[in-house]
Amino acid sequence: MIRRGYLDFPWGQVHYRTVPARPDLPLLLLLHQSPLSARNYDRLLPLLAPACRPVALDTPGYGGSEPPGRQWEVADYAQLVLAVADRFSAGRFHLFARATGTVFAVAAALAAPERVRTLVLHGMPVYTDAERADRLASFAPPFAPAADGSHLQWIWKRIQGEYPWIDAPLATHFAADYLATGGDFATAYRAIWRHDLRAAAAGGIKVPTMLVAGTRDRIFFMHERAAALLPQARQVVLEGATDFVAEQEPGRLAAPMLEFLASG
């Protein structure tokens, strides 16, 4: 059921994934975490289609989307979200995001609150100043192709190091996403580490918001920070869910999402 397409912008193309849905339904844009791709949502999209037109975007420089050609900041990614909604003729739309994508989604909602019907944030990374500085310094170095293929083993070990529970098929998908970035897989990471999310969202978000967290998520420890930053947000905690509940248990994520979308 997955359908793919491209949107043309002056700097390049954005690749997206969607499924057939009634054209009169509201648009839902989905943003993924870095350095992965919208492929994460292939099992989730069909479950959402009865209530909306779900469109999962590849962040520029990831998946099938071209890199923008210059260093983007969080505000640039946020403006892209609004521009994509324009291309789908959606004055107002729902917005879902995971991890890195949540920072872009919050920026879009702050920039144009009148356009975002609901905001669903799955695992929002709220860093301290010290954590942001540390990650900018050392967390995600680029990799270079090696003649002996050792860069492939480096990617594999990195994925297994971050997700010790991961199985081979899922890790293979992730490795393909790493390779699709061309070596520098941290462009979006660096944008969110340069961005002071706490300061940007300190005044609150004037959009109905839901925070989703899984207790086996690698950044579950940040959920309390996110809840403190957005105290008006509804909270949904999925016991035992990992970072990739959209792939592993899409029904568990779709159920609260569909209920929340109906409220907006």
DSSP 8-75: EETTEEEEEEE----TTSPEEEEEPPTT--GGGGTTTHHHHTTTSEEEEEPPTTSTTSPP-SSPPPHH
The pLDDT value given to residue 139: 86
Per the CB < 8 A criterion, the answer to whether 161 and 174 are in contact is no
R_g of the chain, CA atoms, integer Å:
17
Domains of the chain: 3-126+195-262 (3.40.50.1820)
pTM beyond 0.85, yes or no: yes
The pLDDT value given to residue 140: 85
Alpha carbon distance 40, 146 (integer Å): 28
pLDDT band of residue 77 (cuts 50, 70, 90) is very high
The pLDDT value given to residue 204: 92
Express each pLDDT in 146-195 by its tens digit.
999 999 999 999 999 999 999 999 999 999 999 999 989 999 999 999 99
Express each pLDDT in 214-241 by its tens digit.
999 999 999 999 999 999 999 999 999 9
Q: At what angle do helices 150-162 and 168-180 cross, to 10 degrees?
A: 120
Cβ neighbours around 150 below 10 Å, total: 11
pLDDT band of residue 51 (cuts 50, 70, 90) is very high
Those residues with Cβ within 8 angstroms of residue 223's Cβ, 6 or more apart along the chain or in another chain: 123, 124, 211, 213, 217, 235, 237
Alpha carbon distance 56, 40 (integer Å): 9
pLDDT tops 90 at residue 138:
no
The pLDDT value given to residue 141: 87
The pLDDT value given to residue 40: 96
Structural tokens at position 145: 């192709």
Structural tokens at position 5: 């397409």
What number of CA atoms fall less than 13 Å from residue 29's CA on the CB side? 33
Alpha carbon distance 96, 114 (integer Å): 16
pLDDT band of residue 264 (cuts 50, 70, 90) is confident
Alpha carbon distance 55, 69 (integer Å): 24
Query: Which one, of 58, 54, 65, 63, lies nearest residue 19 by Cα?
Result: 54
pLDDT tops 90 at residue 86:
yes
State the distance between the two ends of the chain, measured CA to CA, in whole angstroms.
Answer: 26
Per the CB < 8 A criterion, the answer to whether 204 and 230 are in contact is yes
Query: Which one, of 177, 171, 153, 155, lies nearest residue 242 by Cα?
Result: 171
Average the pLDDT over 48-74 and give the result: 97
Those residues with Cβ within 8 angstroms of residue 13's Cβ, 6 or more apart along the chain or in another chain: 6, 7, 65, 66
